[in-house]
Amino acid sequence: MALTPFHSVHDDSADPFGERPIHGFSVQKHILGGRFRFDSNSQALLQLVEAAYGELPQQQLPMTTQEFTIELRLLPRQMSPRDLEPPRVQMQAGAGLICGVMDVSNYVVLAPAQRRALVVASEDMLSHPYHLRYELIEFAVFTLAARGLGLVPLHGACVGREGRGVLLLGGSGSGKSTLALHSLLHGLDFLAEDAVFVHPESLLATGIANYLHVQADALRFIDEGDVRRWISQAPVIRRRSGVDKFEADLRRGHGRLAATPLKLVGAVFVSSQSADDPRELLQAIPAGEVVARLLADQPYAAGQPGWRHFESQLVGQGIYELRRGTHPRASVDALLRLLN
């Protein structure tokens, strides 16, 4: 990670609100089709940026590349020790600003129209890198990219091959991450596991293929010793739901990351229910149910400007339900039938 130093003089009496940058560093990353500059007074915060976005394929979308700026500001340690889980982020918006607040020393403020954001964190939050990266830094990146590039932000995964992709949807615990893992292990291109961003006109999907989050029970379907070690030796994070998951770095693991955005050829709702017939895992969702099911699964995305066009395009490609077979490999084979 190459850090570019920048300097300015800071005087508390002349700059009581801290509007002028203090001694710090800067890095630039190409993310989700945009160019992001991160300025900070802390190398530790920029190391979290590197952990999230370093060594990823550059995804180029069919529009003019926009530039975004995120300032990462580290504050002194809080008086009270932070041994417990950080507070949940509370959302607020108004006057063209979006705010996510954990507490007085840990928050994010976004100005989407200016393509800028400020992320503030206290030193004790460095001991909670997952929450700091995922709930503050990545929140700023994802929101700015979606608004600034006109992308539809989806909670889901995406895998594919030869430039074609399938969107994996479904609620928590449905098995999206396990299916994405086995798709990766059986030769499909891996685009994203948790958040997918789609250009509504072209149906090109992009994402961040940095980490895969799977529970320990996913290991029972993996025979390869090196793959089991890659996952089981990864750090364990705890979701806000209380579920513990391995956070396996895809850039240090197995399989192939999608080098370019994937053109969506359909979507699959991953179901936790077992199929009645193990030879027929994939079923088309009736046309009369598709729109309501998409709205229920993606309430935030459905309120974004590009949703209607995206929805009609995706429905035209085909939307299916995928029930479980005797082994995740059978589900991967079902996806391959859509991609071929």
Q: Collapsing DSSP states into helix, strand and coil, what is residue 139?
A: helix
d(CA 36, CA 28): 6
| CA proximity to 139, closest of 65, 74, 194 | 194
d(CA 269, CA 85): 32
d(CA 84, CA 27): 31
Low-confidence residues of the chain: pLDDT under 50: 8-9
Rounded to whole angstroms, what are the CA distances from 159 to 33, 41, 149, 190, 233?
Answer: 18, 37, 22, 5, 24
d(CA 33, CA 47): 21
- φ and ψ at residue 292, rounded to 5 degrees: -65, -35
| CA proximity to 236, closest of 210, 214, 208, 209 | 214
Q: Copy the structure tokens of residue 297.
A: 């699964």
The predicted model scores a pTM of: 0.92
Return the pLDDT at 23: 58
Q: 301 Cβ partners below 8 Å, 6+ apart?
A: 152, 153, 154, 155, 307, 310
Return the pLDDT at 6: 55
Return the pLDDT at 1: 66
Q: Copy the structure tokens of residue 245.
A: 């998951």
CB atoms closer than 10 angstroms to residue 200 = 20
